[in-house]
Amino acid sequence: MCLPMQSDPMQPVPVRVLTRRREVADTWTLELEPGDAAGRPFAPGQFNMLYVFGVGEIPISLSGDSADPHRQVHTVRAVGPVSRALAALSPAATVGLRGPFGQGWPVEAAAGADVVLIAGGLGLAPLRPALYYILSRRARYGRVALLYGTRSPGDILFRRELERWRRRLDLEAWVTVDYAGSDWVGCVGVVTNLVPSASFDPADTVAFVCGPEVMMRFAVAALQKAGVDDAAIHLSMERNMKCAIGHCGHCQFGPLFVCKDGPVLSFERIRGLLSRKEI
């Protein structure tokens, strides 16, 4: 049956790699064409499925600015066969793209409130579009704080941008590392230790959290301790994904399909699931 290309949500669109930049030792940022003259609009927190010819297809968050739907920016950590092949692509190479998929950060609903963004490691990548969104509409939000934790000073992602953000007077940007040499003057310790230092009104705060699952559990505990409501805490979940459209079953998390109900989910919805092992 010869269905028109777009009618099969499992069929990727070939797009070219425009630029490739090394971020840290194992992580690269690729800018891709949208594969559509009109651009490929996305919301902060959404992801695309990226296919490397003959190797496989994986979910990768959009890490660029949603104001520019003509550039699909992805930050990829090379951890296995597909991500390694993806990160190794040079400009002009073609990848298959499907997306965008999923529910992103509730950036609109957060307007008027203080916003705390907590990122662990590569978790900064899916949060960056939310920060771009908020900063470009800065007056509509209360206080904004970014708390970012990573392994070592050499693992700091988007370093130049972080330095710029730290210089802003309308944004509190904290960076902490797990371990560092004597040349590091910043914080050392886990990112959740920064929560009490950040200034926000817990009764009127929306928190966006992305990082390894353990780190997110600790972040939730720290936010709860500070007085932030469960419904105001949003996490981006990671699960195995083969389809991204709710058909393959792989991403199930209790009653939720992380691909279509998430990846961003309010803690209120997943409270009973996140606390259990092997759900």
Annotated binding-site positions: 243, 248, 251, 259
The only residue of 88, 112, 240, 271 in contact with another protein, by rule CB under 8 A: 240
Q: Which residues of 49-62 are buried (b: 16+ CB within 10 A; e: fewer)?
A: bbbbeeeebbbbbb
| First-residue to last-residue Cα distance in the chain | 39
Q: Total binding residues for ligand FES by CB under 6 A?
A: 12
Residue 56 found at the interface with ligand FES (CB under 6 A):
no
Binding residues for [2Fe-2S] cluster: 243, 248, 251, 259
Question: Distance (Å, rounded) from C-alpha 97 to C-alpha 166?
Answer: 34
- CA-based nearest residue to 86, from 131, 45, 56: 56
Scanning the structure block, which residue is given the tokens 């949208």?
34
User: Does 240 sit near ligand FAD (CB under 6 A)?
Assistant: yes
Residue 81 interacts, among another protein, ligand FES, ligand FAD, none and using kind-specific CB cut-offs from 5 to 8 Å, with ligand FAD
Tokens representing 28 are 């690269």
SS3 128: helix
Determine if 52 is a binding residue for ligand FAD (CB under 6 A).
no
Q: Which residues bind ligand FES (CB under 6 A)?
A: 241-244, 246-251, 257, 259
Q: Which residues bind another protein (CB under 8 A)?
A: 1-3, 5, 7-14, 16, 51, 53-57, 79-80, 92-96, 238-240, 242-243, 245-250, 252, 254-255, 257, 260, 276-279
